[in-house]
Amino acid sequence: MKEFQLKYGCNPNQKPAKVFMRDGSDLPFEVLNGRPGYINFMDALNSWQLVMELKEATGLPSAASFKHVSPAGAAVARPLTATDRRMYFVEQEDVSPLASAYIRARGADRLCSYGDWAALSDVCDASTARYLKDEVSDGVIAPGYTDEALEILKTKKKGNYNIIKIDAAYVCAPQEIKDVYGISFEQGHNNFKINKELLANIVTKNKDLPEEAVRDMILSLITLKYTQSNSVCYVKDGMAIGVGAGQQSRIHCTRLAGSKADNWYLRQSPKVLELPWKEGVRRPDRDNAIDVYISDEYEDVLRDGEWQKVFTRKPEVFTAEEKKAWIATQKGLTVGSDAFFPFGDNIERARKSGAQYIAEPGGSIRDDNVIETADKYGMVMAFTGMRLFHH
C-alpha cells in the first residue's frame, strides 16, 4: 500500500489528509481492521518505537498505553501479584507475559489511558486480546496477531476497532522532515541507544545501583524519549507509574509525574482495595470513582450522595493525613528526566514520592546543588550526558 487516506487531520476541518512515504515506497504497516485517524497513527508510530526499543534494551515483552502522542504508561512483562489483579481489574486466569506488560502499562494511569492506543512489542496473543477487549481503547499496533487474538479484537467497537500490523523489520530513513506553517524542518532521526553503559557516570556519594534500578532507569529514559517535552518519568518495578509530559517548567513536570505516582500507590491502599462496589459497575466508572475517592473532593461527593451510584454503602473519607502517611511508605522509585534538573527542588519533590534513584543528563550551572540535595537523602544519581527532547 502506497498511501492511506484519512477522514481528516488533527481536526475535522483539516482536509484532505493522508499518510504516505515520501520516496513512493510501500507503507511499512497494514491496517487489519478499522480506519485509524491522523492522531491514531501518530500514537501508533510513536508508541511502537517505544516498545520496540524497550524490548531490545531489556529483552522482555513490552507494552505502552498512549494518548495524544505521549505515553500514559509503559511497562515490561512481570508476573502480576494479587494486588495487581485487584487494582487493574484482572478477572481472567490466563495472563501471558505480553498481557502482563500491557495490563501494567495501562494500570499506571487508568484515567489517562481511557480511550488509549495500545502498543505491543510482540505478536499479540489471545490473553492480551482478552484483556484489551474489555477496556475502552481506540486501537492497537503490534508486529503480528494470532488468529484467535485477531478474532477477539475484531469484536471491539462493533467491529470497528483499529488494528495495525507493523513490519518489525522496518528501519526508517536516517533523515526526517516535518512541515510547520508551510516551512520544512529536517533533522537526523533520533537513533540514540539507551542502555546500561549510559548510566556509568554516578555523581552521588551513594553509588549502589542494583540491576532492578538499572532496568527502571532504562525504562524511564526510553519512555521519555517518546514523551512530549518537558517530561519527567517515575518508575517502579519495571513500570512507568507517573509521566509528566509537555510542561513548560521542569518542577511542574516533576510535580505532575509525582502526583500520578502517588495516585498509583494510593490505589493499592486497603481503603481503596476494599471499596464496596455495586454489582456490574464498569471499569471506567470504577476508575472515575477511585480518582474522586483519593482526591480532596470526596467529602463533597459524600454530602451530595453521589456515592450511591457506584457503592453499596457510604465509604468513609480517606483523610489527608491517612493519604500522606500511606504515600510515605512508598520506597525505591526511579525518576528520569529528559533534560537536566536546574534546581534541587526537583529532587526534594521526587523524594516525597519515594524516589531513591535518579537519571538525568546533568549540565546545569547548579549541578552541585542538585547533587548535594540527592546526597542529603542518600540517593543514587547518574548523569547520562544526553538530552531526550521530543516534539
Question: pLDDT tier at 222 (50, 70, 90 boundaries)?
Answer: very high
Is residue 338 a contact partner of residue 327, using CB atoms and an 8 Å limit? no
Determine which of 254-263, 279-288, 293-302 has the lowest per-residue pLDDT on average: 293-302
Mean pLDDT of the chain: 96
Question: What is the identity of the amino acid at 324?
Answer: K
- Based on its alpha-carbon atoms, the radius of gyration of the chain, rounded to whole angstroms, reads 21
DSSP for residue 337: E
Per-residue pLDDT at 52 exceeds 90: yes
What CA–CA distances, in Å, run from 10 to 180, 284, 321? 14, 25, 44
- Give 184-215 pLDDT, tens digit per residue: 999 999 999 999 999 999 999 999 999 999 99
Q: What's residue 298's pLDDT?
A: 85
The pLDDT of residue 348 is above 90:
yes
Spatial contact of 162 and 40, defined as CB atoms under 8 Å apart = yes
At 60, list the grid cell.
522482555
Neighbouring-strand partners of residue 145: 124
Beta bridge partners of 188: 175
Identify the active-site residue in 33, 40, 162, 230: 230
* pLDDT value at residue 302: 76
Q: Which tens digit of pLDDT belongs to each residue from 353-383?
A: 999 999 999 999 999 999 999 999 999 999 9
Residue 1: its pLDDT value, please? 85
- DSSP per-residue codes, 198-245: GG--B-SS-----HHHHHHHHHHHHHHHTSPSSEEEEESSSBEEEEEE
Per-residue model confidence (pLDDT) at position 303:
78
pLDDT tens digits, one per residue of 289-332: 999 999 988 888 777 778 888 999 999 999 999 999 999 999 99
Confidence band for 334, pLDDT divided at 50, 70 and 90? very high
The DSSP-derived string for 269-322 is SHHHHT--BPTT--HHHHHHHHHHHTSTTHHHHHHHTGGGGTBSS-PPP--HHH
pLDDT of 240 higher than 80: yes
pLDDT for position 305:
79
Of all helices (H) and strands (E), which one includes residue 324?
Answer: helix 320-327
- Residue 296: the pLDDT is 86
Residue 252 designated active-site: no
To the query of whether residue 390 is one of the catalytic residues in this protein, the response is no
Catalytic residue among 67, 154, 156, 323: 67
Q: Is the pLDDT of residue 170 over 90?
A: yes
Cis omega (within 30 of 0) for bond into 369: no
Nearest to 255 by CA among 352, 321, 151: 352
> For the residues 151-175, what does the mean pLDDT come to?
97
Instruction: Look at residue 297 in the predicted model and tell me its pLDDT.
Output: 84
Q: Among 171, 148, 353, 182, which Cα is nearest to 262's?
A: 353
Please name the residues in contact with 318: beta carbons below 8 A apart, sequence gap of 6 or more. 266, 269, 271, 272, 293, 294, 298
Residue 95 has pLDDT above 80, yes or no: yes
pTM of the model: 0.96
Greatest extent of the chain over all pairs of C-alpha atoms, in Å: 62
Q: What is the pLDDT of residue 32?
A: 98
Which residue in 13, 158, 191, 391 is the catalytic one? 391
Cα separation, 37 vs 43, whole angstroms: 10
User: Per residue in 117-148, pLDDT tens?
Assistant: 999 999 999 999 999 999 999 999 999 999 99
> Can you tell me the distance from the alpha carbon of 64 to that of 219, in angstroms, rounded to the nearest whole number?
11
Average pLDDT score over residue span 92-98: 96
Is the separation of the CB atoms in 49 and 227 below 8 Å?
Answer: no
Three-class secondary structure of residue 96 per DSSP:
coil
Catalytic (active site) residue 68: yes
pLDDT at 306: 80
What per-residue confidence (pLDDT) applies to 27? 96
Known catalytic residue: 67? yes
CA distance 367 to 369: 5
Kindly tell me if the per-residue pLDDT of 98 is higher than 90: yes
